[in-house]
Structure 1
Amino acid sequence: MTVAFVGAGNMGGALVERLCEAHMPVTVCDTDPLRQQQALAAGASLADTPLSAVAQLGPEDALVIVVVDADQCREVLWGEQGAASGLQAGQAVVLCPTIAPEDTVAIAERLAEQGIACIDAPMSGGPQRARDGRMSLMVAAPPAVLERHADLLAALSLNVMRISERVGDGARTKLVNNLLAGINLVGAAEVLALAERMGLDLTTTLDVIERSSGQSWIGSDRMRRAIDGDLAPRAHVTLLEKDTRLAVAAARSVGFEGPLGARAARVFEQAHEGGMAGLDDAALLSFLRQNSPRP
């Protein structure tokens, strides 16, 4: 099995390392020189363009796309030197970014015109879980497609969850998950900002929350770093800003308006506007400290 990767950032790079460790031939295309060097160090080969990245794929091999948004996915596939012109019938594109379901469906339909399968496969869990094989991989595609590429999916993650055979359902599931993640993270940052205002020790407070009914994985993960002042970006503020915005739009498209989703999305938008776009989303604690007025 040979795998082409476009996008070797925090998540993609962790997956590249994992596949190389499993002795799979991996070719990586990424525009960042640092990511290129990391991929080489892991044992991958480099390609200058998405088109050249897929040149060595066999008849049932796959291209894995781990970029940020739908526009980048389309550029990878159909831009100048895009991969689609080099893909063959029987091969597959594993689509990992968090994007709108309608974009996933449109990309899949366009690929299908060439006889190329699309596996709707958004992921969740962060770089360390991706590296360890513990991330969640939410896959949606016809059963025959999933069976044909089962070895690759199993190599990517030990937690492959088959959502349905309808491409787009992986994207829908990921948006539901990430909307809750965003709500949980805003809530965790809010209550710790409140605890600090009350004069409580934040580490002790978070210890209690983690052993009580307020616990959430993303709250613990991000707030531990925030308490330590560690805002080096593992997941930029802009990612959950994008994901919560897409989730709220998806909710509205089916006539659903909940009480919390849009408000959480607005907090990420405000943090971005407040100059925190390039920081880890743990920076929400700092944002709420600065933007919670005193009486």
Structure 2
Amino acid sequence: MERIGFVGVGLMGEGMAASMLKAGYPVTVIAHMNRAPVERLLELGAREAQTLEDLAANADVLHICAPGSPQVETIVEKVLPELPKGSVVIDCSTSDPVSTVMLAKRIEAAGSHMADAPLGGTPAQAAEGQLAAMVGADETTFARIEPILRSWAGAAVAHLGPVGTGHRMKLLNNFLAMGYGALYAEALALSRKVGISTETFDGVIRGSRMDCGFYQTFMGYAVEGNRDSHKFTLTNALKDMTYLASMAGAAGIANPVGAAIRNSYAGAVSQGGDGSEDYVPHLVDFVARANGLDE
């Protein structure tokens, strides 16, 4: 079986790596700033590499789950000299498609291949092997990696086109998702300003045509106070909306709604919502404070 290397066994990566181990793939991980997921994966049979170079030298297919394109570029710079010829680098991050296409050319020139396979889903779905993958790759590379992807993306594996297409689709997906979050936060602030409680608002929307899965995880914090109801950081939301703005600019399309959504998250981050545990549903607090409301 293909030897798997994995960089980034965090909230999503741990479940992905565990799913590949359960499917029988030999998986090598690298030390993470949080040792706990590494230790859990070692108990499942993973091997630990001490350096990125060691990880690359023992990987036929290398997964990367990083915060964004700058980190992915740094990782590729370090692993590229050691990658076996013919290996595949799969970027599962939400990255800038311009960077992705550039990296793909470098990796191909070095004798290997690249695919972008950003994720759809939550850490809970990752733990169950039920993520979705939006894949950009040539036909031959996709055919090779599809069985591996399906070990952790049991919900759906969609081959969308050449390298870069997966990241373009992921940004469009997150445009909608982060847009929902910005709308919900502003609607809840306005609701309270006009005398309608959050609980009353939720009682009308939940179960109606305006309800959806994202609404329910967002309101898991607003109504129930569950800070971990949707563990996607405000800084990642801002990063993704910044990438979306870049993509829109490159395409020559006006993106006024995207700009408004980006500014909502930028406002929260500038108010201090830049921590590793400041998640998208917490946007409701930052919008409330900006409008003179207690949280």
TM-score, with structure 1 as normaliser = 0.91
Please list, as runs of the form range in 1=range in 2, the aligned pairs for 1:165-204 lying within 5 A after superposition.
166-204=162-200
Contact 2:199 2:223 in 1 (8 A): yes
Residue in 2 that maps onto 1:141: 137
Q: Which secondary structure does the structure 2 equivalent of 1:54 belong to?
A: helix
Query: Which residues in structure 2 correspond to 1:7-22 (within 5 Å)?
Result: 7-22=8-23
Instruction: Determine the structure 2 residue equivalent to 1:241.
Output: 238
Question: Which residue does 1:123 correspond to in 2?
Answer: 119
Cα contact 1:92–1:118 (8 A) shared by 2: yes
TM-superposed deviation, 1:56 = 2.7
Partner Cα separation in structure 1 for residue 11 and residue 44 of structure 2: 14
Identity of aligned residues (%): 29
**Alpha-carbon separation, structure 2, partners of 1:197 and 1:17:** 46
Q: Name the CA distance, whole Å, in 1 between partners of 2:223 and 2:30.
A: 36
RMSD over aligned CA atoms reads 1.8
The SS at the match of 1:275 is coil
Q: CA deviation at 1:55?
A: 3.0
Q: Which residue of 2 aligns with 1:47?
A: 49
SS for the counterpart of 2:29 is: strand
More displaced stretch, 215-224 vs 284-293: 215-224
Deviations 1:162-197 (A, max 9, x none): 101x21111111111111111111111222223333
Query: Which of 100, 119, 122 does residue 96 from structure 2 map onto?
Result: 100
Q: Does 1:276 align with 2:273?
A: yes
Q: Which residue type is aligned with residue 285 of structure 1?
A: V
For 2:193 and 2:107, the matched residues in 1 are separated by 54
SS in 2 for 1:110: helix
Deviation >6 Å, runs of 4+: none
Distance 1:259 1:28, change over 3 A: same
Structure 2, gaps ≥5 residues long? none
Q: Does residue 85 of the first structure (1) align with residue 99 of the second (2)? A: no
Cα 1:209–1:30 shift into 2, 3 Å? farther
Matched positions, count: 287
For 1:281, the aligned partner's letter is V
TM-score by length of 2: 0.91
2:109 counterpart of 1:113: yes
Structure 1 position 65 matched with structure 2 position 64? yes
Secondary structure of the structure 2 residue equivalent to 1:4: strand
Contact 1:3 1:64 in 2 (8 A): yes
Q: 1:34 aligns with which of 23, 33, 36?
A: 36
Q: 1:186 to 1:42 in 2, by over 3 A?
A: farther
Which residue identity does 1:74 align to in structure 2? E
Asked if the contact 2:73–2:103 (Cα under 8 Å) also holds between the matched residues in 1, the reply is yes
For residues 14 and 36 of structure 2, what CA distance do their matches in structure 1 show?
11
**Aligned mates of 1:210, 1:43 — CA distance in 2:** 43
Q: Helix, strand or coil: the match of 2:12? A: helix
Once the two structures are TM-superposed, the CA of residue 86 in structure 1 deviates from its matched residue by 1.6
Q: Is the 8 A contact 1:196 1:202 kept in 2?
A: yes
Match of 1:256 among 244, 253, 257: 253
Show CA shifts across 1:39-76 (max 9, x none). 3244322111121113333xxx3000001111111221
Structure 1 unaligned regions, length at least 5: none
**Retained in 2: the 8 A contact 1:88–1:114?**
no
Which of 201, 212, 227 is the equivalent residue of 1:231?
A: 227
Question: Shift in Å at residue 5 of structure 1?
Answer: 0.2
- 1:64 is paired with a residue whose SS is strand
Query: Which residue type is aligned with residue 77 of structure 1?
Result: V
Higher mean displacement: 33-42 or 187-196: 33-42
Question: Does the aligned pair in 2 maintain the 1:206–1:220 contact within 8 Å?
Answer: no
